[in-house]
Amino acid sequence: MTQYPHNFNNNTQLLHWLFRTGKIDLNEGRLFEHKPIPLPPAMNWNRIEGMILGLAIGDALGNTTESLTPQRRQIQYGEIRDYLPNRYANYRPVGLPSDDTQLAIWTLEELNGNHGLNPDCLAQRFTQGRIFGIGSTMKGFLRHYKSGLPWFESGQKSAGNGALMRIAPIVIPHLRSQTKALWVDTALAAMLTHNDSASNAACLGFVAMLWQLFSRSTVPEANWWLETYIQFTQDLESDSSYRPRGGAFTEDRGYLWQFVERRVSQAYQQGLSVREACDRWYSGAYLLETIPSVLYILMRYGDNPEAAIVRAVNDTKDNDTIAAIVGAAVGALHGKDALPQRWQVGLLGRTAERDDGTLWRVLEIADQIWWHY
């Protein structure tokens, strides 16, 4: 277990120390000053199930063709609307996880078991199982943590999407308390693996958006997605040196939120299809590609969960993660019942090689601990 230089009574004190010592790559923006908006009486667990299932379904629909370009994927598979035969399930067309689902559900397991976030326990959990399709940043985190570094010095300076893809469950322990501790826990969970300005800010912005979606009874206007993300993140980022690694905008340089504001709004004004827009900024695992892709899909298809996830699966390169993030958002907005039944039935609920149903069991325990207690 990590030995801290001070005794911290709670995660808020811990985060204040990380800010004060410069150990977290993040500005202490306005978001930390305000409680989450109160959830309405009509809020129900169906929204939480939708968020988690949307994440897992998006991952499962995408991970069998991850890293193919949309053009190559279409040539090989046509339009993907259902699970493809999977060699890890005797070639049955069922939904299996990659690291997106694994790390999200392991996070929820730890939140359940510790009755909240203990970053060191979460770090240990990430070391205890085989991670499917593990990324280079996660490998770096594990290497540092296993070498004896404290968890808060093990996160990598990486603007990849590996923290964002697993962050959604962090909202669950805060559904009843609804305090500023939500932002504290989000920042701590984010920096664990990806201690990077853009990644930390993106995780906070996405969690804040999910919370807003829980409060909505109607589908937001298209511009809401872009404007809300920018509103929450623009004073959180501390690094203005981000540049695209490919696509049409390689001369851009600045904050992630600035790139998103400029290029996503431009694509929407021009009426580009999802594939056209995502091809312009490239749609891989780098946050200057993932965040624009997610927001653009939600702007175009946020009113239709199936269409949003299908477009993420077919029209992006890092399609499992982008579909998982899109799926979490539309699931939080529309609820579990709006996700196609065939996708829910075909999802095996694994987080390891042969643990069918684990996802459902973890969700049921979370319901008992955090909602229907």
Which residues sit in the known binding site for Mg(2+)?
98-100, 318, 320-321
The DSSP secondary-structure symbol of 2 reads P
What does the alpha-carbon distance between residue 354 and residue 168 come to, in Å, rounded to a whole number?
Answer: 24
Query: Where do runs of H (alpha helix) occur along the chain?
Result: 11-20, 45-62, 70-77, 99-114, 119-126, 136-146, 181-191, 197-214, 222-233, 256-269, 274-281, 287-301, 305-315, 319-334, 341-346, 358-366
Determine contact, residues 164/287, Cβ cutoff 8 Å.
yes
How many CA atoms lie less than 13 Å away from 149 in the CB half-sphere?
Answer: 15
Sequence-distant (≥ 6) Cβ neighbours of residue 130 within 8 angstroms: 352, 353
What does the alpha-carbon distance between residue 66 and residue 55 come to, in Å, rounded to a whole number?
Answer: 15
Q: How far is CA 35 from the centre of its chain?
A: 21
Annotated binding-site positions? 98-100, 318, 320-321
